[in-house]
Amino acid sequence: MSYTILVTTDHDACFALRHQIFVGEQGVPMEEELDDLDQTATHLLAKENDTAVGTARVVYHGEFAKIGRVCVLKSARGTGLGAKLIKAAVQIAKEQPGVTKAKLGAQLHAIGFYENLGFSVYGPIYLDAGIEHRDMVLDLS
């Protein structure tokens, strides 16, 4: 399968994917899925042909680029698309002046996935939208 991943202003496509996966599949409350950070975030959209199949966002806080809202449709899981989305987000973070670290909150089942991409776990387990997470960080220097 061939995917394109680009920075997008098509927030509706990103939000539709996030709603389907986070709200529909994982039971995240609608009011917790969208937030004010969406207004300033850099959004990535992955497409197969003209169909949106994955998304992620990057939010900047000082030296940190926080990667979040990463999701891939069931039909595209296991294809390497998730890793490509993270690598694209990391590359965008590296291009931002003053950003030296990428961080994210990983659902516990995904920790190994992120470790394979170079992220390290830190801090305790916490609940985000009722789902257990751990923070992870990647040095960009």
Divide the 141 residues of the chain into consecutive groups of 10 and give the mean pLDDT of each group.
Answer: 92 96 92 91 96 97 96 93 97 96 96 97 94 96 84
Tokens 């909150």 -> residue:
105
Q: Give the side-chain half-sphere CA count within 13 A for 62.
A: 0
Strand partners, 54: 46, 72
The CATH number of the domain where 85 resides is what?
Answer: 3.40.630.30
Residue 9 and residue 41 in contact, taking contact as beta carbons nearer than 8 Å: no
**pLDDT at position 141:** 84
Q: Give the side-chain half-sphere CA count within 13 A for 17.
A: 24
**pLDDT at position 2:** 86
Q: Give the side-chain half-sphere CA count within 13 A for 48.
A: 12
**pLDDT at position 31:** 87
**pLDDT at position 25:** 94
Residue 82 belongs to what domain range?
A: 4-139
How far is CA 63 from each of CA 1, 6, 31, 97, 131, rounded to the nearest angstrom? 35, 23, 28, 9, 27
**pLDDT at position 30:** 87
Task: Identify the three-state secondary structure at position 86.
Answer: helix
Number of independent structural domains in the chain: 1
Q: What are phi and psi of 55, to 5 degrees?
A: -155, 165
Please state the pTM of the whole predicted model.
Answer: 0.93
